[in-house]
Amino acid sequence: MQTIPLTIAYHNIKWPLENGLFFPFTVARLDLLHPVISGNKSFKLKYNLLKVLEEKKEGIITMGGAYSNHLCATAFACYQQGLSSVGIIRGEVMEPLNNTLAFCKAHGMQLLPVNRADYDSYSKAVNFIKEQYRHLLFVPEGGNNYEGFLGCTEILAAVPEADSYTHILCSMGTGTTFKGIAAAAKAHQTVIGIPALKIKETEQELFLQQHAHVKTEATTKVLFQFAGAGYARTTQEQFNFMNLFYTKTGIPTDIVYTGKLMQAVTALAEQSFFYESCSVLLIHSGGLQGNNSLPAGTLLF
Ligand SMILES: *Cc1c(COP(=O)(O)O)cnc(C)c1O
């Protein structure tokens, strides 16, 4: 099995602020863990793969959209271990396949499209498919199950001197990563989640209950104002920021999650959200394969 290194590489950045001062922060480079099973997906798959072996299953059946990092990571991890994989794909699977799905297929993943309306772990259509693949372990979309969470509780232990940070920020999709990090964080730490999905004000309370609720000594916060144009929606302004961030730090980011995270943190620093005594850690959760869907030349990296 792919083993996760005991220590994760990190970069110390000094980000130039408009007032001429520099805002220091550290980026934990989970994106460098593996070219395919990058970022938080390595952690989410760890205990799911162990469960496959424990339960003597033949592989994993999971779900995702056409650009899903989780599907790529699952397909590749299963391929590497000689396991089968099936991906239940949201909406149509269009030919020619995009980069993400082509990669999944090339690594042995069987792709089963379901209508957007039926795309739910508990829908009749999905249950029907699950019944036919009982020899595979079902893992929900994004690796959002207990095993996924358990893996994510190990992220901080792999970051050098993780206890020294007062603030830890990560991107949120399902919130599994946020919850895992928060569960492992200490009482003097604040864990801040930046959702990549636009959540209406009236739905934020429910989102917090479902995606951010976790037993922890740490303080937790979710900041909803940085979702930009919405999940997987991009703007020229975001590309410009990602290019600027790359030019100033040498760190590539992805269009769905980490680009928005970096933009959020630099915006918070401009707004003097952090005090001088704060030490800030950002979790770069990977996802760079998603950038392959952009026209060549959009990004500098
Ligand atoms: C999947 C993914 C996330 C979201 O993680 P959750 O645990 O679902 O919140 C964040 N960043 C990247 C790069 C991802 O691929």
At 138-176, the pLDDT tens digits run 999 999 999 999 999 999 999 999 999 999 999 999 999
Q: What fold is seen in the domain 10-35+155-293?
A: Rossmann fold (3.40.50)
DSSP secondary structure, 152-196, as one string: HTTTGGGSTTGGG-SEEEEEESSSHHHHHHHHH--TT-EEEEEES
State the pLDDT at residue 4.
Answer: 73
* Neighbouring residues of 244: CB distance < 8 A, sequence distance ≥ 6: none
pLDDT band at 223 (very low <50, low <70, confident <90, very high): very high
What the block records as the tokens of 131 is 């019944």
State the pLDDT at residue 2.
Answer: 56
Cβ distance 158 to 181 under 8 Å? Answer: no
Under CATH, to which class is 40-146 assigned? Answer: alpha beta
> CA 7 → CA 30, 32, 160, 265, distances in Å?
10, 11, 7, 24
- Looking at every residue in the chain, the average pLDDT score rounds to 96
In the chain, where the domains are located: 10-35+155-293, 40-146
Torsion of CA 278, 29, 154, 212, to 10 degrees: 60
pLDDT digits (tens, 9 = 90+) for 62-104: 999 999 999 999 999 999 999 999 999 999 899 999 999 999 9
- Cα(127) to ligand 1 centroid in Å equals 25
Q: Catalytic pick from 38, 42, 68, 285?
A: 68
Give the DSSP H/E element, type plus range, for residue 292: none
Query: Whose C-alpha lies nearest to ligand 1, atom 13?
Result: 287
pLDDT band at 5 (very low <50, low <70, confident <90, very high): confident
* Neighbouring residues of 70: CB distance < 8 A, sequence distance ≥ 6: 41, 44, 62, 64, 141, 142, 143
pLDDT greater than 90 at residue 194:
yes
What the block records as the tokens of 28 is 């934990």
Kindly list the protein residues whose Cβ atom lies closer than 6 A to any atom of ligand 1.
39-41, 69-70, 142, 144, 171-178, 254, 257-258, 285-287
Residue type, 51: K
Mutation choice for ligand 1 from 43, 62, 69, 153, CB with most ligand atoms inside 8 A? 69
- Specify burial of residue 9 (Cβ count, 10 A radius: 0-12, 13-18, 19+): middle
Mark whether 272 is an active-site residue: no
> CA 243 → CA 8, 226, 248, 259, distances in Å?
24, 18, 9, 10
pLDDT digits (tens, 9 = 90+) for 249-278: 999 999 999 999 999 999 999 999 999 999
What the block records as the tokens of 139 is 């893992």
* Mean pLDDT, rounded, for 127-134: 98
CA separation for the pair 144, 47 (Å, rounded): 12
What the block records as the tokens of 180 is 């895992």
pLDDT band at 128 (very low <50, low <70, confident <90, very high): very high
CA separation for the pair 258, 243 (Å, rounded): 13
State the pLDDT at residue 36.
Answer: 86
* Mean pLDDT, rounded, for 102-117: 97
What the block records as the tokens of 129 is 């498919």
Name the one residue in this structure whose structure tokens are 């206890």. Answer: 163
pLDDT greater than 60 at residue 209:
yes
40-146: same fold as 10-35+155-293? yes
State the pLDDT at residue 38.
Answer: 85
* Mean pLDDT, rounded, for 229-251: 96
